[in-house]
Amino acid sequence: MRSRASKDSAPRLPRLPARLCPRPRILFVGINPSLRSAAVGHHFAGPGNPFWRLLHAAGLVPEPVSYVDDVRLPSWGLGLTNIVARATRAADEITPAEYVEGRRRLARTIARVRPRIVSFVGLTVYRQFLGPAAGRGAGPKPERISRARVFVVPNPSGRNAAYPGFRDKLVWYRRLRRYADEGEGPP
């Protein structure tokens, strides 16, 4: 564990901007940026992170993309943000106070951009936002957030042991696409 002095003297990485548009079809919400993502200025930039391949394989984006294409998500009616803005090596470095502030900020963002679906990228971020009443497992959830439907997809991180492989995760990203397609009518 690092001392406070070493934490304060560590270089501060720039904040990774959210990729937002008005009324996104799906707003993806991650936990927080990795150190690599913050360093290169793009979401899900970790080597081997399959998030971008999952989006394409599931039919959520029309062409193969990589982390440098995160700025293009709004043109496809998709958004991407995190509950906590600070980059860390691992999510267990996030403080309870950061989650409290993150919940407030995220609720304001959701109310402002009004997505049709909020898709939490992993159970950890879903539970951090909704608290102890949050359900288990991936898939559609009964809650609404500012009228948006809620869906949880597996976190694409290799640390996500519940969904060990690309195919296991892809099942849920495809279900998200179908869930989004089912609700394409007026709100």
Domains of the chain, start order: 23-182 (3.40.470.10)
Q: Which two tokens stand for residue 119?
A: 């898709």
Report the largest interatomic distance among the alpha carbons of the chain, rounded to a whole angstrom: 54
Q: How far apart are CA 96 and CA 105, in angstroms?
A: 14
Q: Which of 29, 19, 20, 42 is nearest to 106 (CA)?
A: 29
Q: In the prediction, which pLDDT does 43 show? A: 96
Q: What is the total residue count of the chain?
A: 187
In this structure, what token pair is assigned to residue 76? 């496809």
Per-residue pLDDT of the chain (187 residues), as tens digits, is 444 444 444 457 778 999 999 999 999 999 999 999 999 999 999 888 999 999 999 999 999 999 999 999 999 999 999 999 999 999 999 999 999 999 999 999 999 999 999 999 999 999 999 998 888 899 999 999 999 999 999 999 766 666 778 999 999 999 999 999 997 644 4
Cα separation, 109 vs 168, in Å, equals 30
Sign of CA dihedral 107, 109, 111, 115: negative
Name the phi and psi angles at 160, rounded to 5: -80, 90
- Asked if 34 contacts 45 with a C-beta cutoff of 8 angstroms, the reply is yes
Q: Which residues contact 125 (CB under 8 A, 6 or more apart)?
A: 29, 30, 31, 82, 83, 155
- Tell me how far apart the alpha carbons of residues 55 and 162 are, in angstroms, rounded to a whole number: 19
Position 164 scores a pLDDT of 76
Please tell me the predicted confidence (pLDDT) of residue 186.
45
pTM of structure? 0.90
Structure-token pair, residue 74: 């709004």
Report the pLDDT value the prediction gives residue 48, as an integer from 0 to 100. 84
Distance CA 119, CA 68 (A): 21
SS3 of residue 102 by DSSP: helix
pLDDT at 159: 67
- At 88, the amino acid letter reads T
> What is the pLDDT at residue 126?
97
